[in-house]
Structure 1
């Protein structure tokens, strides 16, 4: 039997509304578009791009599940999983099955985004307006680079510069699929090839996108994500310079107080990129579903993820607003970051850029843009914490934990910093997600990750 179930690229055909019609009919249903029509005009290409943002914002991806996997896989006694779902429990136990549906859907959704990006990039000739064409290309490359970045981070061993770039990453697919008969069955590319694609895509996006693009990705969204990518790789000079560019030139500002960065119906002053959620989104977002108390829209775990006493040891000042950004529920302590079911989801905040610049400057013994002390105190003063008189790398990394807690950075920071999770080594097999079972069953070219 033909393996048409393989590769989630096929699902994006349905997402675009491509359906076959009866051979006896010449009339195409109004709600259906053939591939030729769907890619025939700039307006239709723009519709595909809007759909890509919706895919990225989906709960399976940046609506919460990627962050959930990161925080639970890195959990070492600071969180309690109170929920009834078995898939997140497997993350918390570091005992993930290859048929875990959350893992499957993270993979599927990423490749849906990638295929739609490839469709856009293959049909840029429909644009007569060069600015519109550049913007479409930039947004497609931004979202494709984003999807591949997190696929590599989740499904591969942690990147170690000059050491393991030849190890298995994820399949790289650059050709669009508009017909199920054209689906291919690629093997996995290397980690280095994955990162090279990500950096190339995001660099192109930075050069193509406008400085202001509403709530869609702008050139500074691309530069902010590049700063994150370079930091993950250990390219500290490039990470520093990218973060410095965003801080100096983007026009974004830290919110006046820490709480104003979260639970907003519109983007805050420091949202370099936020995924949009409205009251018309029936499920809201899964950040709120899992992290919010029942009275604030969360599940009956109240909350499914509660914060335990060991976490509070990271706060050095009781007056720090971040140390008080919690509330009591019937079953535990919840973070206030995800109280609103229909708030936008901050994805790249300006605060992260200060942290990246401070860490990179400290590692390089430079003071590009500001001293590490100045950057860290900028965040501490915003949070009403006592400013430091001096900082070292350990203190900068602790400030990063205080500022970015529960936003999905935990696993990725543990891996890049070679920080073990309890008695589990940072590069252990069970801190890498399995290639989903459905993909392994359908594609003989895929090699499973060790331990699964």
Structure 2
């Protein structure tokens, strides 16, 4: 399925009652679907559409998108191969024909999410013109849809396009910017990476305005704080250090860090977590192929590589999220996606973290490093390291004069902090690093120097065939 088919073939993904029944969206009988006009004829219809949109974002985050940057990176080993293991991405032999695997799946579900968000955004003005009294209710709905559309475009660009700094003006090929759902006859072209980022930032700034003074709320829904956190990340990727610092600071000043036992609890105790800014709710989502299975403590598909485990100090509280492999001395499993409290079929869920407070400190540290504000960079790194070691940050010994050492410390802290959360490979490419894997890797690829055409996934062949405006990626679209 290609971009132009989403409107006609999957229009009411968002309108189904996924979050209110035990069915996945795709299991819903389409014979009695509401019409588009009826869906957007009430505030309740907009809210149901938004609920369905969160569901499709969950669909790509809890599956291939969240795992791809771990498999393609250098901190995860693939222990077993099979359908859904992303072995092709591990070996950098991704096939454009791969429709149900990472190549086609990520593309498809991100565009479904964009389609759904567009329908909410584009029906907003018409509905408000007829129902001005609903403005306050729908402003936050539109703001959340704008956040989702921005996140989806950003995620798509990270996966199928080279990083922002690949060229000096970010004028290289990005991904399509889709603000209105295209008709079947439309030729949808790829924008430049700069154009994609400009639109992502524009959507987020509008969402920030619409949220008004309503700063934060339930971590399972987009909020003003989530918008500001995503802006901090986007500006970091774009090399806009001042704005990355500005937005990271706004979030830090309004957020907490999880400390002590609260740190592991946000992953294992079925709670949002003290430092969760935005995460996706796995309640009543399908359990097949989810994070708990690929990171299972009994028969995991993915395990921590030695390159990761050797980074930890023995006193690091983050080690509480690992478990020794009972059958392989010196090997470990991750417990990030295992439940440590009592649960049943009604309470079981796996909630991918998208944005959390720790990232904001590391965003600000990296941005300050690039501005040569080494003392400020060091101060934020000490907070993260001090939290990990349960020490006063002031007691942490860290140079404030050697930029190379601080840069290496950022790389190490990001690897430890965000392992198995969908960051590793994207960090390598945006920081223009070579991919270097450890001795334990079972991949045929031990290293790839930056830059490389293999650092992006191919555009799905179905999109190339159906859309005359689409250009492929060098080498990987063969």
TM-score tier, shorter chain, comes to 0.7 to 0.9
1:293 aligns with 2:300: no
Which residue does 1:373 correspond to in 2?
Answer: 378
Q: Residue by residue, what CA displacement relative to the aligned partner does 1:281-321 show, whole Å, maximum 9, x if unpaired?
A: 23167222212223xxxxxxx11001232322222x21112
Structure 1 residues 427 and 132, CA, compared in 2 at 3 Å: closer, same or farther?
farther
Which residue does 1:352 correspond to in 2?
Answer: 359
Q: Residue by residue, what CA displacement relative to the aligned partner does 1:314-348 show, whole Å, maximum 9, x if unpaired?
A: 22x21112245311345752111111361322211
Which residue does 2:333 correspond to in 1?
Answer: 334
Q: 1:129 Cα shift?
A: 2.5
Structure 1 residues 274 and 364, CA, compared in 2 at 3 Å: closer, same or farther?
same
Which residue does 2:397 correspond to in 1?
Answer: 389
Q: 1:14 Cα shift?
A: 4.3
1:114 aligns with 2:118: no
**In 2, are the aligned partners of 1:285 and 1:342 still within 8 Å (CA)?**
no
Q: 1:408 Cα shift?
A: 0.9
Q: Distance in 2 between matches of 1:285 and 1:212?
A: 31
Structure 1 residues 146 and 225, CA, compared in 2 at 3 Å: closer, same or farther?
same
Which residue does 1:418 correspond to in 2?
Answer: 432
Which residue does 2:81 correspond to in 1?
Answer: 83
Which residue does 1:320 correspond to in 2?
Answer: 316
Which residue does 2:187 correspond to in 1?
Answer: 185
Q: Residue by residue, what CA displacement relative to the aligned partner does 1:341-374 show, whole Å, maximum 9, x if unpaired?
A: 613222111111111112222322338xx93333
The structure 1 residue matched to 2:151, chosen from 143, 146, 150, is 146
**In 2, are the aligned partners of 1:39 and 1:45 still within 8 Å (CA)?**
yes
Q: 1:131 Cα shift?
A: 1.9
Structure 2 gap ranges (5+): 17-29, 340-347, 400-405, 437-446
Q: Residue by residue, what CA displacement relative to the aligned partner does 1:86-114 show, whole Å, maximum 9, x if unpaired?
A: 66000100110112222211111111111
Which residue does 2:286 correspond to in 1?
Answer: 282
Aligned residue for 1:293, secondary structure, equals coil
Structure 1 residues 206 and 256, CA, compared in 2 at 3 Å: closer, same or farther?
farther
Q: 1:41 Cα shift?
A: 1.2
Q: Distance in 2 between matches of 1:211 and 1:64?
A: 29
Q: Distance in 2 between matches of 1:271 and 1:406?
A: 16
**In 1, are the aligned partners of 2:208 and 2:224 still within 8 Å (CA)?**
yes
Structure 1 residues 437 and 288, CA, compared in 2 at 3 Å: closer, same or farther?
same
Which residue does 2:168 correspond to in 1?
Answer: 163
Any residues of structure 2 matched to 1:151-300 within 5 Å, and which? Answer: 151-160=156-165, 163-176=168-181, 184-209=186-211, 210-214=214-218, 215-248=220-253, 250-257=254-261, 258-278=263-283, 280-283=284-287, 286-294=290-298
The structure 1 residue matched to 2:300, chosen from 289, 299, 303, is 303
Structure 1 residues 135 and 5, CA, compared in 2 at 3 Å: closer, same or farther?
closer
**In 1, are the aligned partners of 2:39 and 2:46 still within 8 Å (CA)?**
yes
Q: How many residues align?
A: 422
Structure 1 gap ranges (5+): 19-28, 295-301
**In 1, are the aligned partners of 2:74 and 2:305 still within 8 Å (CA)?**
no
Structure 1 residues 85 and 75, CA, compared in 2 at 3 Å: closer, same or farther?
farther
Structure 2 length-normalised TM: 0.82
